A and B are shown apart, each in its own frame.
Chain A
Amino acid sequence: MINIQDMRDTARGLLTKKEVRAVIGYRRSTNGMLAEPVVITDPAQADELIWDPTCFHNLSLYLVEDRKFLTHVRKTADAPIAIVAKGCDARSIVVLMQEHYFERKDVYIIGMSCEGSGVLDERKLAAKGIRATDAAFDGDDFVFATAQGEQRIAAREVMADRCLECREPFPKEHNAVLGENKTGRELNAPFTALHRFEELDAGARWKFWEHQFERCIRCFACRSVCPMCYCEECVVDSISFPVTGQTSAEEKANRVRWIERSATRPENMTYHMTRVLHLAGRCIDCNECERVCPVNIPLRLLNNKMEREAREEFGYEPGASIGGPSLTASFLDTDPGKFIR
């Protein structure tokens, strides 16, 4: 069991000794029982930090934001930035470092082991009709405070699917780590949800996705929350096209609009297909995209599909090691497929 105080002490110590310039962590939000991301710079704020089953967010997104901000204001950091990271979050930090988005020395990882459980899936809890005001880890259980008093539920009943299938709930890459390493405790076999979906025939699957992409409202929450979607210029829309005083009229005029603003099925489908391909070998299954989707499009199925292909065809595990190869930028003689030879 992780003692929250240990995490707070770690953060406080780092800030007090000025070993880091800020700590990215979780605090209680004003939206019910949920945690929210917070960036603290004052050691006194360390007591705001929390650790509970609603700490779903992959905070490595804010490492990307931090880097973008520093570039924008043309500054270099005088100290690393610390981040509270679960096993999955730590893997995404590794991917970002593999891609040289920042260096190892730029980040201080306060690893949090998910130990025997993982994080909550709010929708599963809602489906049980439970309205909780607080959530806490307790061994293999989650304990919820409700109007009817304390309610204890086996974590696996309301845990996010990705946590049930997680192969590495312990943040291997870390500077400090809290909690036990219970790697190998996966509750469901990997890709369980995907296998279940693939029992449908191709026609049914196509129909399913047609229906899902019809529903997309293109709020771009999936892309905005994704730490891997850091491109300054995104191929799928116009909202992040970086224009400066030096951008010529030609560049603006000739920029191809691959995808129109209209949230129609073909446009939405192209958007999501492009995105999932760009995430192949990079997505570490934090599943933030699916969690934040306001209309519940099951995006994890798409990302999982790519992850499984990479694993089965190339033996590739995303985010395994900083110095390791990246899926799409490396080639082995043993790679399947003859097209490249």
Chain B
Amino acid sequence: MPDNIYLPELARIAHIKEEISGERAIKTYRVEPVNGGGFEHNCGQCAMLSIFGRGEMMISIASSPLITEYKQFSVMRVGRVSAAFHELDVGDVIGIRGPYGNSFPVDDWRGKNLVFIGGGVGLAPIWPVITTAVAQRADFKNISVFYGARSPRDLMYKAELERLRGDADIQLSVDKAEEGWKEFCGFVPANVLDKKPSPNNTIAITCGPPIMIKFVIQNLQQLGFADEQIYTTIENKMKCGLGKCGRCNVGKDYVCTKGPVYSWAQLKQLPEEY
């Protein structure tokens, strides 16, 4: 931890990619430390990004820990700070502090099948696990990625997902049919039920809108997944990231330090306060 836990390090925007346009646009940023600083992180951890004059926001680190030159963040334009983020250009300097929170127990999963289930911008928090697993392909058995969004235009990381084919079984879906769409049409949970991934020696990792997560978990349970085999992440409003400002708690746990990653077995013990 730095001397001053609230003082961000400066970081430069090295690359911006427009993932999705429209009302709730999503852009992906590569961020590099400015003064040779930076920090290491684990899959699932978050960082507090600053735009000075606007404030801070907590965002999942969307790049694999194996990548040390930069960190990647996919930011949906929904609020005060994220709207300002979308105005940034390559070369602009922001603030960053972290990493915060726990992480996916990826090491415990070596030798297992992995089923990733993402919806919308919820692909970002699990992307580090996906890319790490693919980079260390021999350590894992089958890797499948279920990913869906409202329409083909709302799918992020499209090119990256295509590149994963061969290493992973990619199952895309859209809520509403559109001309030319060849893959599954329907909600993500339905796609999972349709493809019936086997629970044997498998871990399922899901992230997306709360309503999607709810039905994904129901469907996984229907397929025979035990609560300990299902992992997800939760979010709450955060200000400090350090378990002190008092607003992100779910029961006794501050999500910023004890979360955001929970197995369903753990999460169902907590009150539904997220």
Q: Which residues of A contact B (CB under 8 A)?
A: 248-250, 252-253, 255
Q: CB-CB < 8 A to B185: which residues of A?
A: none
Q: Which residues of B contact A (CB under 8 A)?
A: 23-24, 77-80, 82-84
Query: B84 — nearest CB in chain A belongs to which residue?
Result: A253
Q: CB-CB < 8 A to A255: which residues of B?
A: 80
- A-B pairs, 10 with minimum CB distance: A253-B83, A249-B83, A253-B80, A249-B77, A252-B80, A252-B79, A249-B78, A249-B79, A253-B84, A249-B82
Q: CB-CB < 8 A to B80: which residues of A?
A: 249, 252-253, 255
A248 touching B23 by the CB < 8 A rule? yes
Question: How many angstroms between the C-alpha atoms of A253 and B82 in the bound complex?
Answer: 9
What is the distance, in angstroms, from A263's C-beta to the closest C-beta of chain B? 17
Question: How many angstroms between the C-alpha atoms of A249 and B83 in the bound complex?
Answer: 6
Query: B25 — nearest CB in chain A belongs to which residue?
Result: A249
Q: CB-CB < 8 A to A248: which residues of B?
A: 23
Q: CB-CB < 8 A to A250: which residues of B?
A: 83
Question: How many angstroms between the C-alpha atoms of A177 and B265 in the bound complex?
Answer: 60
What is the distance, in angstroms, from B191's C-beta to the closest C-beta of chain A? 24
Q: CB-CB < 8 A to A253: which residues of B?
A: 79-80, 83-84
Query: A248 — nearest CB in chain B belongs to which residue?
Result: B23
Question: How many angstroms between the C-alpha atoms of A249 and B23 in the bound complex?
Answer: 8
Question: How many angstroms between the C-alpha atoms of A181 and B84 in the bound complex?
Answer: 61
Question: How many angstroms between the C-alpha atoms of A253 and B78 in the bound complex?
Answer: 9
Query: B87 — nearest CB in chain A belongs to which residue?
Result: A253
What is the distance, in angstroms, from B132's C-beta to the closest C-beta of chain A? 31
Question: How many angstroms between the C-alpha atoms of A252 and B83 in the bound complex?
Answer: 9
What is the distance, in angstroms, from B118's C-beta to the closest C-beta of chain A? 21
What is the distance, in angstroms, from A332's C-beta to the closest C-beta of chain B? 44
Q: CB-CB < 8 A to B24: which residues of A?
A: 249
What are 18 A-B contacts with C-beta separation under 8 Å?
A: A248-B23, A249-B24, A249-B77, A249-B78, A249-B79, A249-B80, A249-B82, A249-B83, A250-B83, A252-B78, A252-B79, A252-B80, A252-B83, A253-B79, A253-B80, A253-B83, A253-B84, A255-B80
User: Apart from A249-B82, A252-B79, A253-B83, what are 15 other A-B pairs with CB-CB below 8 Å?
Assistant: A248-B23, A249-B24, A249-B77, A249-B78, A249-B79, A249-B80, A249-B83, A250-B83, A252-B78, A252-B80, A252-B83, A253-B79, A253-B80, A253-B84, A255-B80
Indicate the member of B24, B79, B82, B84 with the most A CB atoms within 10 Å.
B79
Query: B79 — nearest CB in chain A belongs to which residue?
Result: A252
Q: CB-CB < 8 A to A249: which residues of B?
A: 24, 77-80, 82-83
Question: How many angstroms between the C-alpha atoms of A248 and B83 in the bound complex?
Answer: 10
What is the distance, in angstroms, from B162's C-beta to the closest C-beta of chain A? 29
Q: CB-CB < 8 A to B83: which residues of A?
A: 249-250, 252-253
Question: How many angstroms between the C-alpha atoms of A247 and B201 in the bound complex?
Answer: 44
Query: A245 — nearest CB in chain B belongs to which residue?
Result: B78
Question: How many angstroms between the C-alpha atoms of A248 and B24 in the bound complex?
Answer: 9
What is the distance, in angstroms, from B232's C-beta to the closest C-beta of chain A? 21
Question: How many angstroms between the C-alpha atoms of A248 and B23 in the bound complex?
Answer: 8
Question: How many angstroms between the C-alpha atoms of A308 and B23 in the bound complex?
Answer: 50
What is the distance, in angstroms, from B12's C-beta to the closest C-beta of chain A? 23
Query: B54 — nearest CB in chain A belongs to which residue?
Result: A253
Question: How many angstroms between the C-alpha atoms of A252 and B23 in the bound complex?
Answer: 13
Question: How many angstroms between the C-alpha atoms of A252 and B84 in the bound complex?
Answer: 11
Query: A257 — nearest CB in chain B belongs to which residue?
Result: B80
Indicate the member of A252, A253, A255 with the most B CB atoms within 10 Å.
A253
Question: How many angstroms between the C-alpha atoms of A30 and B10 in the bound complex?
Answer: 54
Query: B23 — nearest CB in chain A belongs to which residue?
Result: A248
What is the distance, in angstroms, from A327's C-beta to the closest C-beta of chain B? 36
What is the distance, in angstroms, from B33's C-beta to the closest C-beta of chain A? 27
Question: How many angstroms between the C-alpha atoms of A40 and B99 in the bound complex?
Answer: 51
Question: How many angstroms between the C-alpha atoms of A253 and B79 in the bound complex?
Answer: 6
What is the distance, in angstroms, from B52's C-beta to the closest C-beta of chain A? 15
What is the distance, in angstroms, from A62's C-beta to the closest C-beta of chain B? 27
Query: B76 — nearest CB in chain A belongs to which residue?
Result: A249
